[in-house]
Amino acid sequence: MSRRTWHKCFSSTSESDIISLTKENKGSTYRTEHCQAGKTTTYRCTEYRKQPLCLFQLKSKESNNKFTVFKSESHNHDQRNDATRLKSPIRDTVQQMSDKGMTQTQIRKAVSVIHPSLTVDTKMKNIVQYSRLKTRKTIDINHIFICITTRQLLSACKYSSTLVIDCTYKVTWNELPLLVFGTSDLNRHFHPLGLCLISTDESADTFKTLFRVLKSCVPLIY
């Protein structure tokens, strides 16, 4: 593979000028490197995933509060990657069939007749599941606390006095926060103790509820 050729194109003493330049050239941060001479940040095309032929890059070098920008290649958007999802007309057809109550097997057979050369099993399954998720009736989630753990997992508490807790969203129905908690050892390895599905947001009440449960459950393990 041939080495890149870089050309100096800009210099400034303000980092905001560099940010503006990268936005104007549709660049996004690729990697940042630190060394004794200063910091070097490389930018690539914001659409590099969709445009396989685009080799455009910018490189900003910071030294003594001065920024120098170099450019390599130009934007090339002549060839676009094929989308991984189904095309819009087919997606609409699958969603309409799902809304009418057709099963996944019935939809698969119908689509295979309309588009015999198309393989759509996995992609079609995702559309059907998403369509049914949107039309599913909501339930009362104002007072939910579900903790999933085991005696063996909780027994790890006696080996560490550190409790690590974090919440994640958008992985559960109705966007309930999924709270994951555990501990760590001297090598900073995480050891899960369990997870909780809680109706409150990621606030003090969420952690108070978990602490109360652990305070009452953990002593029973020993």
What's the CATH number where 34 sits?
2.20.25
The answer to whether residue 118 is domain-embedded is yes
Residue 150 has pLDDT above 80, yes or no: yes
Residues in the chain: 222
Which among 175, 93, 99 has a CA at the least distance from the CA of 135? Answer: 99
| Structure-derived torsion over alpha carbons of residues 199, 203, 209, 211, reported in degrees to the nearest 10 | 140
Model-wide pTM > 0.75: no
Cα–Cα distance, 109 to 51 (Å, whole number) = 34
Do residues 61 and 96 both lie within one domain?
no
Segment 121-136, tens digit of pLDDT: 556 666 666 566 555 5
The answer to whether residue 116 is domain-embedded is yes
For 76-81, the CB contacts below 8 A with 24+ separation are: 76/51, 77/47, 77/51, 77/53, 78/53, 79/51, 79/52, 79/53, 80/50, 80/51, 81/49, 81/50, 81/51, 81/52
Do residues 149 and 123 both lie within one domain?
no
The answer to whether residue 1 is domain-embedded is no
Do residues 98 and 131 both lie within one domain?
yes
- The number of folded domains in the chain is 3
The answer to whether residue 80 is domain-embedded is no
- Residue 206 and residue 183 in contact, taking contact as beta carbons nearer than 8 Å: no
Residue 167 has pLDDT above 70, yes or no: yes
Segment 196-206, tens digit of pLDDT: 888 776 667 77
Do residues 19 and 44 both lie within one domain?
yes
Confidence of residue 91 (pLDDT cuts 50, 70, 90): confident
The answer to whether residue 83 is domain-embedded is no
Do residues 122 and 149 both lie within one domain?
no
Confidence of residue 161 (pLDDT cuts 50, 70, 90): confident
Residue 194 backbone zone (phi > 0: left; psi -120 to 50: alpha; other: beta): left
* SS3 at position 124: helix
The overall average pLDDT reported for the chain is 80
Do residues 24 and 59 both lie within one domain?
yes
- Residue 148 and residue 194 in contact, taking contact as beta carbons nearer than 8 Å: yes
Confidence of residue 173 (pLDDT cuts 50, 70, 90): low
Domain boundary among 17, 45, 72: 72
Q: Which domain holds residue 14?
A: 7-72
What backbone phi and psi angles, to 5 degrees, belong to 145?
-145, 110
* Amino acid in the structure at residue 49: R
Do residues 212 and 152 both lie within one domain?
yes
Cα–Cα distance, 7 to 124 (Å, whole number) = 47
Do residues 149 and 130 both lie within one domain?
no
The answer to whether residue 168 is domain-embedded is yes
Do residues 68 and 14 both lie within one domain?
yes
Residue 72 has pLDDT above 80, yes or no: yes
The answer to whether residue 16 is domain-embedded is yes
Do residues 162 and 130 both lie within one domain?
no
Q: Quick one: pLDDT at residue 123?
A: 60
Q: Quick one: pLDDT at residue 36?
A: 82
Do residues 121 and 175 both lie within one domain?
no
The answer to whether residue 140 is domain-embedded is no
Angle at 60 between CA 48 and CA 49, to 5 degrees: 5
Confidence of residue 6 (pLDDT cuts 50, 70, 90): very high
Do residues 68 and 121 both lie within one domain?
no
* Look-up of token digits 């996995």: 122
